[in-house]
């Protein structure tokens, strides 16, 4: 596999040319320097978030952000809400369970309704791949994909890249093993796209039944043996078994899955001694990951990922509303 060099961070163009997109639908639309641009923008919010003030900036004051979540979420919804509020926006949450979607309203009608409310940005999570793009095509404001079906979860990949960059000092030239239920995972898909684009060696480690067909076309190496797949890895990224997306028997049992693919302290010894362990959450403790690994204060980055999520979402909301706010250079 050829590893592309990351474009130097200083090399991205000025102003709006550094990030030309109206929406954030997927990593597939981004270049390496656009990813670096978002990560650099996010970096500035991390310290401020750590300082603990509830609000840091009025950049988004007077703007209304609607979080429309047609699928359950804990961390992503909260993270977008906190991100918007820290930038001074008015944030409104719409949960599908309480919305007219349950009464049979079509997705397009819901999109038209949200549009008529003149939101300044829409953050959408939906159980169907492609649904977020469909809405983006119908509305006048920027749309951010907070996860659509098995397709993409771009802010998760961006926050993972930021976490890796901060822990490893770089996010290129690393060996990264993405392990578990890759077949049903939008997190895996967005991460494979981002991490290969940035010039890392990405391995997919999964049972044959949970390995997407033709995944090698995404410039990854596949492994069915977990011990082999994580050998000498710098980063071990675990995925949740997405039982809600399984429409048949993909595994004999959770116990057998843990025996073959669970990340135990013993198994982690195969990776580099300073390898970090990641998980997007929510975790199935004792299934894909042991508690002693997940809670290891040195190796595990799981809470740091959540923290980076707020900074990355602040950066994305800020960047995507700059045209609307008529920031010089973002016409």
Question: What is the smallest separation between the CB atom of 272 and ligand ASP, expressed in angstroms?
Answer: 25
Q: Which is nearer to ligand ASP, 37 or 250 (CB)?
A: 250
Cα gap 198→111, rounded to integer Å: 34
Q: Which is nearer to ligand ASP, 186 or 299 (CB)?
A: 186
Angle at 310 between CA 161 and CA 5, to 5 degrees: 15
Q: Which is nearer to ligand ASP, 153 or 165 (CB)?
A: 153
| CA 93 to chain CA mean position, Å | 20
- For residue 104, give both structure tokens: 């049979």
Question: What is the smallest separation between the CB atom of 262 and ligand ASP, expressed in angstroms?
Answer: 16
Q: Which is nearer to ligand ASP, 144 or 187 (CB)?
A: 187
Q: Which is nearer to ligand ASP, 151 or 267 (CB)?
A: 151
User: Residues at the annotated binding site for L-aspartate?
Assistant: 103, 186, 240
Cα gap 324→121, rounded to integer Å: 10
Residues 144, 148, 151, 156: what is their CA dihedral angle, to the nearest 10 degrees?
Answer: 60
Cα gap 309→122, rounded to integer Å: 17
CB 16 within 8 A of CB 322: yes
User: Residues at the annotated binding site for carbamoyl phosphate?
Assistant: 75-76, 125, 153, 156, 281-282
Q: How many helices (H) and strands (E) does the chain have?
A: 11, 9
Question: What is the smallest separation between the CB atom of 329 and ligand ASP, expressed in angstroms?
Answer: 34
Q: Please provide the DSSP assignment of 154-175 as one string.
A: HHHHHHHHHHHHHHHS-SSS-E
Which of helix, strand or coil describes residue 222?
strand
Question: What is the smallest separation between the CB atom of 33 and ligand ASP, expressed in angstroms?
Answer: 26
CB 46 within 8 A of CB 311: yes
Q: Would you mind telling me the total number of residues written for the chain in this entry?
A: 331
Q: Which is nearer to ligand ASP, 189 or 322 (CB)?
A: 189
For residue 210, give Cα distances in angstroms to 49, 188, 287.
37, 12, 15
User: Residues at the annotated binding site?
Assistant: 75-76, 103, 125, 153, 156, 186, 240, 281-282
Interaction site with ligand ASP (CB under 6 A): 147, 153, 186-187, 240, 242, 280-281
CB 207 within 8 A of CB 224: yes
Cα gap 90→71, rounded to integer Å: 22
Question: What is the smallest separation between the CB atom of 147 and ligand ASP, expressed in angstroms?
Answer: 4
Question: What is the smallest separation between the CB atom of 10 and ligand ASP, expressed in angstroms?
Answer: 33
Cα gap 235→220, rounded to integer Å: 15
Q: Are strands 121-126 and 143-148 parallel, antiparallel or unpaired?
A: parallel
Q: Which is nearer to ligand ASP, 186 or 258 (CB)?
A: 186
Residue nearest to ligand ASP (CB): 240
Question: What is the smallest separation between the CB atom of 187 and ligand ASP, expressed in angstroms?
Answer: 5
């Amino acid at each position: 596999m050829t590893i592309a060099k990351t474009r130097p961070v200083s090399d991205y163009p000025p102003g709006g040319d550094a990030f030309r997109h109206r929406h954030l639908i997927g990593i597939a639309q981004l270049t390496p320097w656009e990813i670096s641009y978002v990560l650099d923008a996010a970096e500035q919010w991390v310290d401020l978030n750590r300082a603990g003030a509830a609000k840091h900036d009025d950049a988004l004051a007077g703007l209304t952000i609607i979080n429309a979540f047609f699928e359950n979420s804990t961390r992503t919804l909260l993270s977008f809400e906190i991100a918007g509020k820290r930038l001074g926006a008015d944030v409104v949450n719409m949960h599908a369970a309480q919305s007219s979607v349950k009464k049979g309203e079509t997705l397009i009608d819901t999109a038209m309704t949200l549009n008529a409310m003149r939101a300044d940005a829409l953050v959408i999570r939906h159980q169907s791949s492609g649904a977020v793009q469909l809405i983006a095509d119908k509305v006048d404001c920027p749309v951010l994909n907070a996860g659509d079906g098995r397709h993409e979860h771009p802010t998760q990949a961006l926050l993972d890249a930021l976490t890796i960059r901060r822990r490893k000092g770089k996010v290129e030239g690393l060996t990264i093993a993405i392990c578990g239920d890759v077949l049903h995972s939008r997190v895996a898909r967005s991460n494979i796209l981002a991490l290969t684009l940035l010039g890392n060696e990405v391995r997919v480690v999964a049972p044959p039944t949970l390995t997407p067909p033709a995944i090698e076309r995404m410039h990854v190496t596949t492994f069915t043996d977990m011990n082999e797949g994580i050998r000498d890895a710098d980063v071990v990224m675990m995925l949740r078994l997405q039982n809600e997306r399984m429409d048949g028997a993909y595994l004999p049992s959770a116990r057998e899955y843990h025996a073959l693919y669970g990340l135990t302290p013993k198994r982690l010894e195969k990776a580099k001694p300073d390898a970090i362990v990641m998980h997007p959450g929510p975790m199935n403790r004792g299934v894909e990951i042991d508690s002693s690994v997940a809670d290891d204060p040195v190796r595990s980055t799981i809470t740091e990922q959540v923290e980076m999520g707020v900074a990355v979402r602040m950066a994305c909301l800020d960047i995507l509303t700059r045209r609307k706010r008529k920031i010089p250079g973002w016409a």
